[in-house]
Amino acid sequence: MAIGPNRYLALALRRPRFLGWSGEESGPGRRSIELAGRAVLRGRAMGLLFVESLPGPKVFKCKHCRVDSASPAAIVSKEFRGRHGRAYLFDSVVNVSFGPNEDRQLMTGMHTVNDIYCSCCQRLLGWRYEKAYNEDQKYKEGKYILEKNMMLKE
């Protein structure tokens, strides 16, 4: 199945927590999107994968393809457990795609989550909390779990 750039643009713009965005044309057949004042998504042809590069010397990257996934500044907590060991809770992540919503019984109770995959290599990286059923777990809604063993910090 061929996937055009609009799918990736939609994924990147789906998270409204980014400061304002504006699409701008930067030449014939070329699109660029500006997030928080800097152009991050660029491409020429249909089917081209758009990735966001994060600023800073040390960012979390997918262990398999080394595409940027999260900034250390976005860490909410390092005290979480994933399917395969330690995991971090993040406010925001980049260069991911989402699986379908599903109800899952986790250590802290029932949650509606969807798995998140690297947009480059499609490896499972963790999940996003869509809904928490316990009041004391509501702070997790809209946040992301990335498993430490799936990430590199470079």
Q: Is 122 helix (H, G, I), strand (E, B) or coil?
A: coil
Nearest to 36 by CA among 13, 10, 58: 13
Residues counted in the chain: 154
Calculate the alpha carbon distances from 3 to 6, 67, 138, 148 in Å.
Answer: 8, 19, 35, 29
pLDDT value at residue 68: 96
Nearest to 140 by CA among 98, 99, 87: 87
The secondary element (H helix, E strand) that includes residue 51 is none
The CATH code of domain 60-153 reads: 2.170.150.20
pLDDT in tens, the chain (154 residues): 444 444 443 334 333 333 333 343 333 443 434 343 333 443 334 677 788 999 988 999 999 999 999 999 999 999 999 999 999 999 999 999 999 999 999 999 999 999 999 999 999 999 999 999 999 999 999 999 999 999 999 8
Q: Which residue has the tokens 């980049």?
A: 94
pLDDT value at residue 27: 38
21 vs 32: CA distance, rounded Å = 11
pLDDT value at residue 142: 97
Domain boundaries, the chain: 5-43, 60-153
Q: What are the tens digits of pLDDT across the range 5-40?
A: 444 433 343 333 333 333 433 334 434 343 433 334
